[in-house]
C-alpha cells in the first residue's frame, strides 16, 4: 500500500468556486486563492514528478478553499482557518478541511519528517503569495510583521513562523530541480479572468 493515493471526497474546481461564492468570498481574497493554487499546483506537480505520492486534487481544492473562512471572519476574533475547516467538515470534505485547518500553522510533528503532505504544500504556497503577487518568504513575512507584529509576543510568533516556513521551503525543494526564486516567474503568467 505504500505510495498509493487513497480515495477521498474532494470537491471539483467548479464546486470549489461555487463554495467560494456561497460563502461570500471577496474578490481580492478569491484572486489571492487562485494564485496560491497556481503556486501549490506547480510545486505539487513537480513533487509528484519527483516520485512523491501526493494527491494533486487535494492540493488544488485545499489551495482554492484555504481562505474560505476569511470573509466571514473579517472584523471578528474568529480563526478563519478553523472556520473554513468546520464549513468543509460539514460539507463532507474532511481531508480538504484538514488542509485548510493547517494552512496558517502546521501542527508540530505532523506526519513523517521525511515525507511531504498536501497540507505542507498549501501552507507553503500561501506563504509565498502576498495579496495577488508571488513573493519571497522574506517579503511575505516583512509584510506580516508590519501588519500584525504590533507587540513583542506577536513579533516572536511571526519570527517562529518565518523560521518554520524556511525549514519547510528547504524540505519541499530538496527533491526538485528548480529553486524557490523560480516561483516568482508565475507573476508573468497570463491568467484567465
Residue 106 lies in a domain: yes
Residue 49 lies in a domain: yes
Residue 4 lies in a domain: no
- Dmax of the chain from CA atoms? 48
What domain range includes position 176? Answer: 13-187
Distance (Å, whole) CA 10 – CA 124: 20
Residue 137 lies in a domain: yes
Number of domains comprising the chain: 1
Residue 8 lies in a domain: no
Instruction: Give the pLDDT confidence of 162-188 residue by residue, as tens digits.
Output: 999 999 999 999 999 999 999 999 998
Residue 7 lies in a domain: no
Does 5 score more than 60 pLDDT? no
Does 33 score more than 80 pLDDT? yes
Does 111 score more than 70 pLDDT? no
The mean pLDDT of the chain is 93
For residue 73, give the CATH number of its domain. 1.10.3210
Instruction: Kindly give the residue spans of alpha helices, DSSP state H, lying in the chain.
Output: 13-22, 27-49, 56-65, 70-73, 80-90, 94-101, 118-127, 137-148, 152-173
Instruction: Give the pLDDT confidence of 84-109 residue by residue, as tens digits.
Output: 999 999 999 999 999 999 999 998 86
User: Which residues make Cβ contacts (< 8 Å) with residue 96, sequence separation at least 6?
Assistant: 10, 11, 58, 61, 62, 65, 88
Mean pLDDT score, 5-18: 89
Does 6 score more than 90 pLDDT? no
Does 1 score more than 50 pLDDT? no
Amino acid at each position: 500500500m505504500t505510495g498509493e493515493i487513497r480515495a477521498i471526497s474532494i470537491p471539483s474546481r467548479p464546486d470549489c468556486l461555487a463554495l467560494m461564492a456561497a460563502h461570500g468570498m471577496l474578490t481580492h481574497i478569491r484572486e489571492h486563492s487562485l494564485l496560491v493554487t497556481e503556486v501549490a499546483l506547480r510545486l505539487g506537480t513537480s513533487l509528484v514528478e519527483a516520485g512523491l505520492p501526493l494527491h494533486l486534487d487535494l492540493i488544488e481544492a485545499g489551495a482554492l478553499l484555504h481562505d474560505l473562512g476569511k470573509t466571514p471572519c473579517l472584523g471578528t476574533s474568529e480563526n478563519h482557518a478553523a472556520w473554513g475547516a468546520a464549513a468543509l467538515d460539514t460539507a463532507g470534505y474532511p481531508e480538504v478541511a484538514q488542509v485548510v485547518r493547517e494552512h496558517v500553522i502546521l501542527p508540530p510533528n505532523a506526519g513523517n519528517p521525511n515525507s511531504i503532505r498536501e497540507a505542507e504544500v498549501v501552507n507553503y504556497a500561501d506563504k509565498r503569495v502576498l495579496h495577488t503577487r508571488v513573493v519571497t518568504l522574506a517579503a511575505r513575512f516583512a509584510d506580516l510583521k508590519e501588519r500584525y507584529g504590533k507587540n513583542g509576543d506577536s513579533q516572536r510568533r511571526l519570527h517562529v513562523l518565518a523560521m518554520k516556513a524556511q525549514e519547510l521551503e528547504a524540505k519541499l525543494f530538496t527533491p526538485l530541480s528548480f529553486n524557490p526564486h523560480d516561483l516568482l516567474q508565475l507573476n508573468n503568467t497570463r491568467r484567465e479572468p
